[in-house]
Structure 1
Amino acid sequence: MRFLLVEDTQDVAEAIRDRFVRGGHVIDIVGHVADAEQLSAFNMYDLVILDVNLPDGSGFDLLKRLRLAKNTVPVLVLTARLAVDDKISALDIGADDYMVKPFDLGELEARVRAIIRRRAGGNQSFLEAGNLTFDMVERRTLVAGEERELTRREQMLLEIFLTNSGRVLEKEDLLVRLFGLNGDSNPNAVEVYVGRLRRKIEGSDLDIRTLRGLGYQARLTVRPDS
């Protein structure tokens, strides 16, 4: 999945990035409110990890503007503030969760998974589409109980489709989610990975459709005998 990390402390940003990259995600990092606002306006993110105290303003102000613009991207707020009122304020203006620095990276990762599950309509550590199950913790894919071996980017692509079921996803958006802003610029790479993923989950109830001129759409297959 693709996350935006808004954090101006370099060592903290690098530690968070490394943790999530190892988990199979793409992370864009900025250290200023203005940069975060620009990126979030023109890119589709699965989640924003947002520091509050930034050089050019408050993360709370950025969160307010995102919600006023009807941007529903999940936001996890990071801050050194301990006051209960600050936590209440963050949640009231649209944060999905809140963590106080210093924090454990394992807990941060678990909180992010919980937000993603809630947004996908689930409350376990896995995503499902009929007989297909993807375990977000173990990074395992099962089709009718049979494990299918996926590469890291195939897992990323499957997770994107499962958390955006029914939505039309543009090829260019999938390219950036898989490779980041400075990654592979060849849109054909998306076609290659979609083709590989389809073959590896053959027999599953997840139907990945190509919508010519629009992109891709993943839907739960409705079987005649269901």
Structure 2
Amino acid sequence: MRILLVEDNRTLADGLASILRGSGYAVDLVADGTSAEAVAAAEIYDLVILDLNLPEMDGLDVLRAMRARQNRAAVMILTARGAPEERVRGLDLGADDYMIKPFDVSEFEARIRVLLRRHSGLRSSLVTYGAVTFDLTSRTFRGESGPIDIPAREVALLELLFLRAGKVVSKEAIMRSLTGFDEDLSANAIEQYVSRLRKRLNAHGLTVKTARGIGYYLERLATPA
């Protein structure tokens, strides 16, 4: 999952980015409204976390521009502007959630999980495919015999494949979802992650198939390895 964080308070921005990356999300960080509007137009995000009091361009104008372009990313407004009329205006312009500073970090994380779950079209935080269940709250995978130990970057890749189980996910989509614009992920690195995931999943009746020249998809094995 890829998140755009728009916040001009550097200390707060770095802290939130660290929390989000620690949960396995790819995070891009910008500090002014003009940059936010440009980046949101050029890149694909699952979620935009948007301050309102921004240099150069107000956050509501950024939101208005996003929705005018039919940008369907989930948007959480995170701001000190808490007057009822401000909340109503933000929600009417297309925000999916509105959170007031100061805020509780645990609640912030919970709201992000809800928004990303809705963005993926899911009603429950538990998603099952074959004999494996993915818990979006803890971002963990579990087989019939117990938890499946998977490193963070591979968790992010498997989450992407899991939420689109049976459908091909392009290499470009994988790169966008797993990295921010200041990171680099090679095709060889993705192949290594896929290879390691296959070894971990085979015992649980799943595998990652290659759609040659396009990408990868998750599939059930006829007989578990």
Aligned counterparts, 1:51-70, within 5 A: 51-70=51-70
Aligned length: 223
CA distance in 1, matches of 2:93, 2:143: 40
CA distance in 2, matches of 1:198, 1:90: 44
Distance 2:132 2:189 in 1: 24
- Residue 174 of structure 2 aligns with which residue? 174
- Counterpart of 1:101 in structure 2: which amino acid? K
Q: Go from structure 1 to structure 2 and tell me whether the alpha carbon gap of 1:222 and 1:148 turns closer, same or farther (over 3 Å shift).
A: closer
Deviates more, 1:197-206 or 1:75-84: 197-206
Q: 2:139 corresponds to which letter in structure 1?
A: R
Q: Which moved more, 1:141-150 or 1:79-88?
A: 141-150
Q: After the TM superposition, which residues 57-136 of structure 1 pair with which residues of structure 2 at under 5 Å, given as runs?
A: 57-136=57-136
1:187 aligns to what?
187
For residues 18-60 of structure 1, what are the alpha-carbon distances to aligned partners after superposition, in whole Å with 9 as ceiling and x for unaligned? 1112212221100112212222222222211111111011111
- Alignment CA distance shift 1:93-1:185 (3 Å): same
Percent identity between the two aligned chains: 39
SS for the counterpart of 1:76 is strand
Deviation at 1:75, TM superposition (A): 0.8
The question of whether the paired residues in 2 share the 8 Å contact of 1:32 and 1:56 is answered with yes
CA contact under 8 A between 1:168 and 1:217: conserved in structure 2?
A: yes
Partner of 1:26: 26
Over aligned residue pairs, what C-alpha RMSD do you find? Answer: 2.4
Contact kept? 2:206, 2:221, Cα under 8 Å: no
Pair 36,206 (structure 1): closer, same or farther in 2 beyond 3 Å: farther
- Which structure 2 residue ranges, 5 or more long, are not aligned? none
Q: 2:197, 2:208 within 8 Å by CA — same for their partners in 1?
A: no
Please say if residues 46 and 74 of structure 2, whose CA atoms lie closer than 8 Å, have aligned partners that are also in contact.
yes
Is the Cα–Cα contact under 8 Å of residues 176 and 183 in structure 1 kept in the other structure?
A: no
Q: Please tell me whether the aligned partners of residues 120 and 164 of structure 1 are also in contact (alpha carbons under 8 angstroms).
A: no
Q: For the structure 1 residues 15 and 169, does the alpha-carbon distance in structure 2 shift closer, same or farther, using more than 3 Å as the test? A: same
**1:57, 1:158 → 2: CA distance?**
37
Is the 2:201–2:207 contact (alpha carbons within 8 Å) kept by the matching residues of 1?
no
In 1, the alpha carbon distance for the partners of 2:146 and 2:158 equals 16
Residues 109-156 of structure 1: CA distance to partner in whole angstroms, max 9, x if unpaired? Answer: 110001111222333333333432112333321123532110011111
SS in 1 for 2:202: coil
In the TM superposition, what whole-angstrom CA distance separates every residue of 1:177-216 from its partner, at most 9, and x where no partner exists?
A: 3232232342211111122223212255766443333323
Provide the rounded CA distance (Å) in 1 between the counterparts of 2:208 and 2:40. 26
Partners of 2:12 and 2:125 lie apart in 1 by 26
Q: Supply the distance in 1 between the matched residues of 2:180 and 2:91 (Cα, whole angstroms).
A: 29
TM-score normalised to the size of structure 1? 0.86
What is the distance in 1 between the residues matched to 2:204 and 2:45?
Answer: 27
TM-score normalised over the length of structure 2: 0.87
**Mapped contact 2:165–2:218 kept (Cα < 8 A):** yes
Q: Name the structure 1 match of 2:146.
A: 146
Matched, 1:9 2:31: no
* Runs of 5+ unmatched residues, structure 1: none
